[in-house]
Each structure stands twice: as structure tokens, then as C-alpha cells.
Amino acid sequence: GAVVSQHPSRVICKSGTSVKIECRSLDFQATTMFWYRQFPKQSLMLMATSNEGSKATYEQGVEKDKFLINHASLTLSTLTVTSAHPEDSSFYICSARDPLAGGSSYNEQFFGPGTRLTVL
């Protein structure tokens, strides 16, 4: 099956610094990737949709200048949390869609293992 990796798996940073999280599709080319945020004991909330070669589409309430998304290649999307603050501490999860998947897998998203961000 399709595999999506994330790096780093955990990161601790000081308030005011920026953190970059990478999301890679390992065995397929992903024209679309998604970034989610999950707070403790809560569900996944979509932050933005990342399309290769174009600007990301952000969900309402998500600051695009704070959460910078770059999808420069078909296998890599990055999320940069700029000037991180303690309230940005969360579990960030990416997913990728395989445009060549057929049948009911057409809408399937393959999720990465997540990145735990802790801002001190």
C-alpha cells in the first residue's frame, strides 16, 4: 500500500522560533496533500489543502502567514509553523492522495504518522 512519511516525528522548540515539518509520499506521486491538526482527545481538523505547483488552500480560521505550506514536488510538501507559540503545540498530520488509484480508492487519503510539536 501507499506509504506517507513525516519528519520529524517529534519536535520541541522555544516560543518565537519556526519549525518545518516534512511530508513525503514514498511510493507514489501525490498531486494533492492535506495538513491536519489534532489537539489532545480531539479529532483531526483540516488546516489546508496543498496542491503541487500552486498555492495552498487554507481552511477558515487558519492563518496562511503563520502556517506556510510549500508543495514544490509531487512527493514532498512542507508545513512551516512560523513564530510558534505554546498554543500551536499539537499533533500535526499530513495525508496524500494517489491520483492514479482506482475504484473506491480514488478518494482515499494515506496518512503520515504525525509530528508532535511542543512549543515551550
Partner 1 sequence: TQLLEQSPQFLSIQEGENLTVYCNSSSVFSSLQWYRQEPGEGPVLLVTVVTGGEVKKLKRLTFQFGDARKDSSLHITAAQPGDTGLYLCAGVSGAGSYQLTFGKGTKLSVIP
Tell me how far, at minimum, the Cβ of 14 lies from partner 1, in Å.
Answer: 23
Query: For the sheet containing 76-81, what is the strand order?
Result: 4-7, 19-25, 76-81, 67-73
Could you tell me the three cell numbers for 26? 514514498
CA distance linking residue 59 with residue 112, whole number of Å? 20
Site for partner 1 in 21-50 (CB under 8 A): 32, 34, 41-46, 49
CA distance linking residue 29 with residue 51, whole number of Å? 12
Site for partner 1 in 75-114 (CB under 8 A): 91, 93, 95, 97, 104-105, 107-114
Closer to partner 1 at the Cβ: 72 or 106?
106
- Residues lying near partner 1 in the complex (CB under 8 A) are found at 4, 6, 32, 34, 41-46, 49, 91, 93, 95, 97, 104-105, 107-114, 116
